[in-house]
Amino acid sequence: MAVVADSVQQRLRDEQVLAVIRAGSAAEAVQAGRALAEGGVRALEVAFTTPDAAAAIGELAADPELFVGAGTVLSGAQAHAAIDAGATFLVSPSLVPDALAVAREAGVLALPGALTPTEVVAAAEQAEVVKLFPASLGGVSYLKALLAPLPDLRIVPTGGVSAANASEWLAAGAFAVGAGGDLCPPGLIAEGRFDELTRRARGYREALGTGEEA
């Protein structure tokens, strides 16, 4: 089981940018995911705030080119639903013991959310990768300060990440970055402006020097 999670960790590190999709419907989430992938961002986190999120996860996960997981996982039941649908990783805004237990049993990577040093260390004791959230509160300097005494932590900052600062987060030691509001705003998804999502995804790839892979 650990081998599965390890391979997923490597994929996350390779992708660098994890798109956080919050949509008004499963169909919109799927369209958003495909638009982002067209722009080169293929790591997709479909939040459970999206109605019928599991259906969207299942449809996107059917594409072998995409790296698909679930976000805002707040219970064991949601964790089960996401994994059954094909999610290869689970992300939570906080430490959710039931979700972590399901992930461990299934051999799926879990990224619990934490902010303070105490929370981050507690999360790292139960998961190999931790989501720093909301990362905007401390910024890049906070991540640097956090990693100074804890250099082995694998941290994915989310909240406050943009195309303009994504490279700064990675240079500061982030394992990868989670981008939602700047990369795929719910408003643009609701308006059906999926071409703009593709453009923004390309902007992230260009900012990270990987535009040729899009």
- Report the catalytic residues: 45, 131
Sequence-ordered list of residues with C-beta below 8 angstroms from that of 153, at least 6 positions apart, any chain? 120, 124, 130, 146, 147
Which tokens sit at 178?
Answer: 């989670």
Question: Which residues on adjacent β-strands are paired with residue 2?
Answer: none
- Whether residue 26 contacts residue 129, with contact meaning beta carbons closer than 8 Å, is answered with no
Residue type, 97: P
Residue type, 81: A
Rounded CA-CA distance 110/33 in Å is 20
- Whether residue 99 contacts residue 74, with contact meaning beta carbons closer than 8 Å, is answered with yes
Q: Can you state the angle between helices 53-61 and 26-38, rounded to 10 degrees? A: 40
Rounded CA-CA distance 202/152 in Å is 30
Rounded CA-CA distance 150/116 in Å is 13
